């Protein structure tokens, strides 16, 4: 089963590029972030016509997450637990029912800039809630994954110019510590199972020719429970998508699971 996570940076602006990619790449499951649309504004029938089940958790103008799946989706829940006053649409869960049932969590972790400040406080608080949900997932002892735009550069090797990001909310020590605390609960970061070293990125800024210079950062990730990690065949970044017409500033990241 091939599963991709993709921050599309707006469904209205990306509908052409996204449908082209779906047609060609044919993911079994696509976990989308930044749909920037309310649920009613998401063109679900476009994807249903291609054979996908569609679940969205949107909001007006910003954020918004979705899951597209060729296989049935069950037990869909929206919103990260732990703060009923949080109105930002950044979390969606569903179980993909195939030969093996897999719990899929799609997330769009807050950016957190400027740091320090209230937006950074929100990011760290959100990561505490993520930590709690992650711990619950592990207690199920079943195949599950959390995938999406984490807005976290895990290590210096995950940025072309790490010094430029030192004080940024994506790379500050508190951010990386929070990421590591979640991973250390027992999750496998899929990409680093298959790739080492520098030069592997999932985001390139639109500005200053970042793509042409490969001046990127790796911030879109898969975290797998042990039962899911045992199914991992491969993980890769589809970087060439960044060079296409009217691209998102992110590219798809994939896992292939033996499921």
Residues lying near DNA in the complex (CB under 7 A): 7, 9-14, 34, 36-38, 41, 60-63, 110-111, 113, 119, 149, 151, 170, 203, 205-208, 217, 219, 246, 249-250
Least distance CB 193 / DNA (angstroms): 23
Q: For residues 180 and 206, which CB has a smaller minimum distance to DNA in the complex?
A: 206
How far CA 12 is from CA of 32, 82, 154, 175, 257, in Å, comes to: 13, 31, 31, 31, 30
Structure token digits, residue 194: 């298959």
Least distance CB 182 / DNA (angstroms): 18
Identify the active-site residue in 52, 120, 149, 249.
149
Q: For residues 14 and 57, which CB has a smaller minimum distance to DNA in the complex?
A: 14
Identify the active-site residue in 28, 52, 108, 168.
108
Alpha helices by DSSP H, listed for 141-218, are 173-183, 191-194
How far CA 153 is from CA of 37, 39, 113, 188, in Å, comes to: 26, 30, 14, 16
Least distance CB 169 / DNA (angstroms): 8
Round to whole Å and give the CA distance between 195 and 234: 10
Q: Which residues contact 126 (CB under 8 A, 6 or more apart)?
A: 80, 86, 90, 109, 110
| Residue whose token pair is 């735009």 | 149
Least distance CB 196 / DNA (angstroms): 22
Q: For residues 10 and 186, which CB has a smaller minimum distance to DNA in the complex?
A: 10
Query: Using CA of residue 129, residue 134, residue 137, residue 139, what is the dihedral sign?
Result: negative
Under a CB-based contact definition with an 8 Å cutoff, are residues 252 and 4 in contact? yes
108 is annotated as an active-site residue: yes
Least distance CB 106 / DNA (angstroms): 14
Q: For residues 13 and 132, which CB has a smaller minimum distance to DNA in the complex?
A: 13
Q: For residues 71 and 169, which CB has a smaller minimum distance to DNA in the complex?
A: 169
Query: Using CA of residue 140, residue 145, residue 149, residue 155, what is the dihedral sign?
Result: positive
Query: So which residues are the catalytic ones?
Result: 108, 149
């Amino acid at each position: 089963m091939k599963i991709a996570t993709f921050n599309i940076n707006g469904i209205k602006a990306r509908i052409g590029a996204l449908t082209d990619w779906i047609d060609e790449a044919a993911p079994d499951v696509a976990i989308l972030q930044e749909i920037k649309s309310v649920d009613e504004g998401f063109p679900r029938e476009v994807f249903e016509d291609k054979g996908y089940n569609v679940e969205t958790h949107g909001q007006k103008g910003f954020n918004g997450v979705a899951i597209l799946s060729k296989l049935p989706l069950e037990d869909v829940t929206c919103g990260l637990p732990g703060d009923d006053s949080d109105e930002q649409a950044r979390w969606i869960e569903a179980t993909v029912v195939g030969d093996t049932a897999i719990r899929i969590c799609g997330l769009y972790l807050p950016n957190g800039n400027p740091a320090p400040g209230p937006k950074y406080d929100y990011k760290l608080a959100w990561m505490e809630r993520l930590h709690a949900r992650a711990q619950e997932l592990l207690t199920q002892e079943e195949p599950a994954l959390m995938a999406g735009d984490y807005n976290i550069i895990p290590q210096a090797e995950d940025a072309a110019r790490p010094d430029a990001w030192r004080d940024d909310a994506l790379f500050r020590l508190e951010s990386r510590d929070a990421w590591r605390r979640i991973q250390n609960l027992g999750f496998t970061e899929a990409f680093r199972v298959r790739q080492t070293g520098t030069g592997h990125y999932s985001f390139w800024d639109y500005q200053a020719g970042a793509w042409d210079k490969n001046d990127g950062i790796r911030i879109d990730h898969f975290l797998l429970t042990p039962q899911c990690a045992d199914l991992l065949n491969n993980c890769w970044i589809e970087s060439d998508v960044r060079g296409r017409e009217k691209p998102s500033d992110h590219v798809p990241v994939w896992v292939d699971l033996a499921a």
